[in-house]
Amino acid sequence: MARLICITSEVGMSRKNGTIQLTEKDGGRSALVPVVQTSEIFALYGAEPDGPLLSLLSQYAVPLHVFSGGKHLRSYLPASAILSGKTVLEQVRHLEDGEKHWLLAREMLRGGARIRCMAARTLRPREKEEWESRYLDCLAEGYAAGLIGIRQILSEFGKIDGEFLEREKWESGELAYASGLARAVVLGSITKLSLDPWIGILCSNGGIPPLAEDLFFIFSPLLVWMWPREDRPSPDRENLPDIFRKHLSRPSASNGSRLWSLRYLPVREGYAILSHFAAGRPYRCASRVGVDHYGD
């Protein structure tokens, strides 16, 4: 079964006989990783991949995310996963229709507000009424503003998020690291969807493709805020890979008997958006999503 790989030292990355060769920058030790057993790579302390290696990763649709000093530097996404054709045409047609675009954006705003209220109830239950009221008021303003007001409403959501995280006593370095890891997870999910990542529903610009930024808006309260308080990410944390994998493996949604982990929530959401574009199925943002408090 393909695994998520976390690399815990700075490495050079090259291709060797159809495998991934990792060579430490300090010490020169090397290891071989079978590409067919790899689903995604997080190089947490820096990496220098060469061209043949990137070609191999693209061939097997394996995303590579590079970090350094607790910051997300870049992601290499397999070109083979960015599809075109009928589905993308439906995506464009749908979002060029102002009424259809607004109905989808409105539902995505509602889902983002609901996820934030859920996270607030879980993390700060004594203050839940305060945060629910603020997020729902912001949502109501978004409903009134329509498509032309989306950028301002997202900014208002961001301000409330910042105040909530300040109460949660996140250190800036930890928050930046957790946010970078979450964005990388969302970017990895884009490679599994036959949607154009550069055509967003809510977001039109940002550090990552707009559709990925949309998914980050929805799920950042779960991917970022819900990190266990005592194990928040830091470059100095030796057990970070184990904590990261455990965090991402938390059950978060179900479709009948199928359970979805936190890592794959953006993929699940993308499938829902895709079926809305391609088959006209009703879109319900973050349907039946819920994450228990860590350790519950």
Residue 128: which residues within 8 A CB-CB, separation 6 or more?
117, 120, 121
Environment class of 184 (CB within 10 Å of its CB; exposed 0-12, middle 13-18, buried 19+) = buried
Residue 148: which residues within 8 A CB-CB, separation 6 or more?
none
Which of the four pLDDT bands, split at 50, 70 and 90, describes residue 156? very high
pLDDT at 82: 55
Global pTM exceeds 0.95:
no
Q: Output the six-digit token pair for 79.
A: 């070109």
Task: Count CA atoms within 13 Å of residue 5 on its CB side.
Answer: 24
pLDDT at 296: 45
All structural domains of the chain: 3-81 (3.100.10.20), 86-279 (1.20.120.920)
pLDDT at 78: 85
